[in-house]
Amino acid sequence: MLLLFGESAIRRVPSLYSLIPALLLAGSIAGCDREKAGGEQPGAGQANISASEAKGGVETFKHQVIRTEAGKPAPAVSFTGPDDAPVTLAAFRGKPLLVNLWATWCAPCVAEMPTLDRLAAAQKDKLTVVAVAQDLQGAAVVDPWFAKAKLAALQPYIDPDNHLLDVYNSALPTSILYDAEGREVWRVIGAIDWQGEEAKALLGEAGF
């Protein structure tokens, strides 16, 4: 299916656990809560970001690295691939996988997306990067965002029913690294510069 937006076009092509409330208290993470029912964007009380952070780059946002879930298998819930077909994380086994949960209305998510795209492009032979949008309106808002962003490597996966967000019970953005057998290595809650030194050190733990 070819979707056109002005002069930009993207093609949807075939594609191959526990609670952590303490991390979300007292502004410990600059992240976003889930979208309101009906497709409304979160109000000021839901997005845990300041005005200055929203105007800055990814380096202005805080994050936490979580290792307590290491070794757990990837969840079996399904979401929608760029080909509009249902897919699960098991489809990506055989190569390390970085899953990113994000949304078009989430300022920290949007801030880190270009750095995540560069990581996906640079490590495409060794690492699969899947960014799964949690927008309730799904492709109707995610596809136009991708067309405008003109990312080099990431594809528009969507999860409008928030299956993954429910399983991880987390804020946005959340990124989870799995090894080639589908076992969790670590997760990052909040935005991180995927081209920065901290991210490089984390990825180095997995051999990247």
pLDDT for the residue numbered 62: 86
Token pair for 123: 């490590």
Please determine, for residue 116, whether its predicted confidence score (pLDDT) is greater than 80. yes
Taken as a whole, the chain contains a residue count of 208
Q: How many CA atoms lie within 13 A of 158 on its CB side?
A: 21
Distance between CA atoms of 50 and 55, rounded to whole angstroms? 9
For the stretch 75-114, what's the b/e string if a residue is b when 16 or more beta carbons lie within 10 angstroms of its beta carbon?
Answer: bebbbbbbeeeebebeebbeebbbbbbbbbbbbbbbbbbb
Amino acid at 87: V
- Residues 121-133: tens digit of each pLDDT: 999 999 999 999 9
For the stretch 172-194, what's the b/e string if a residue is b when 16 or more beta carbons lie within 10 angstroms of its beta carbon?
Answer: bbbbbbbbeebebbbbbbbbbbb
Distance between CA atoms of 179 and 40, rounded to whole angstroms? 36
Give the residue with greater pLDDT, 136 vs 39. Answer: 136
- Residues 62-108: tens digit of each pLDDT: 899 999 999 999 999 999 999 999 999 999 999 999 999 999 999 99
Query: CB neighbours (10 Å) of residue 142?
Result: 24
Please state whether 128 falls in left (phi above 0), alpha (psi between -120 and 50) or beta. beta
Please determine, for residue 40, whether its predicted confidence score (pLDDT) is greater than 90. no
Please determine, for residue 27, whether its predicted confidence score (pLDDT) is greater than 60. no
Ordered by where they begin, the domains of the chain are 20-37+45-204 (3.40.30.10)
Distance between CA atoms of 32 and 105, rounded to whole angstroms? 9
Q: Which residue has the tokens 């889930």?
A: 34
pTM score of the predicted model: 0.79
pLDDT for the residue numbered 29: 52
Please determine, for residue 205, whether its predicted confidence score (pLDDT) is greater than 90. no
Token pair for 115: 């750095």
- Residues 5-15: tens digit of each pLDDT: 333 334 444 33
pLDDT for the residue numbered 14: 37
Distance between CA atoms of 169 and 188, rounded to whole angstroms? 13
pLDDT for the residue numbered 120: 98
